[in-house]
Amino acid sequence: MKYTGSFHIDKAELQGEGENLQKVKESLQGSLRVELENGAIEKSNILSKIFSILNVSQYFKGRFPDLKTRGLPFYRVVANFQIKDGVAATEDFLVDSEAMRITGIGRIDLGRNQIDAKIGVHPLATVDTVLSKIPIAGYILLGKDKAFLSFVYEVKGGLDDPKVEAVPIQSIPGGLFGIIRRLLETPFRPFQKVPSSQDSPKEEKK
């Protein structure tokens, strides 16, 4: 992924060993939190494939950026990773932009350069528009006057050219969808941490 913006490592506890970079990646252990602010995703093989699928629909045609020609501006990108034996796992990858949120749950094998994840793209639309003008399959999360349409994709294979397939909302396990919904419904301001799936409700400050 190629991007612009301010990059921060909020915390990092990593260790690995080996006679070369490949061996170090395969042995990596620890945890990492990363943040990007006020930038743009200029290149992403995964998002390019997903946006291409969504742009085919009549309603969304042209609404998603072609990452080959222009980027996707964002307010913030955040994620917490737990890393074991060179495999980085996250349950709270989140891209927050003006028109949509993008969520990610899954694992990346750093040594093999492979990914196995569920990526959700959640365009923001008015409730009236959603109910009257979008005759397409998608799960609707309603707010007071806004709604997120949720489209979830399974991403598997090499990071350079993974296979991307749409996942029916009905087939997503309740726990996994609960994580996606929590990420969508989390209001946050700049420099405010996004709660991870490990956070207890008692620890949240209101």
Q: Name the residue ranges covered by the structural domains of the chain.
A: 2-121+155-193
How many whole angstroms separate alpha carbon 59 and alpha carbon 77?
Answer: 26
Residue type, 61: K
How many whole angstroms separate alpha carbon 121 and alpha carbon 112?
Answer: 26
CA distances from 129 to 34, 114, 135, 140 (A): 35, 38, 10, 12
Q: What is the pLDDT of residues 9-34, one digit of tens each?
A: 888 999 999 999 999 999 999 999 99
Which whole number is the average pLDDT over 56-78?
Answer: 75
Alpha carbon of residue 17 to chain centroid? 29
| 136: confidence class by pLDDT, cuts 50, 70, 90 | very low
Residue 20 has what pLDDT? 95
| 176: confidence class by pLDDT, cuts 50, 70, 90 | confident
Q: How many other CB atoms are found less than 10 A from the CB of residue 136? A: 11
| 203: confidence class by pLDDT, cuts 50, 70, 90 | very low
**β-bridge mates for residue 86, sequence order:** none
- What pTM was estimated for this model as a whole? 0.77
Q: How many other CB atoms are found less than 10 A from the CB of residue 51? A: 19
Tokens standing for 108? 């990346």
Max Cα-Cα span within the chain? 60
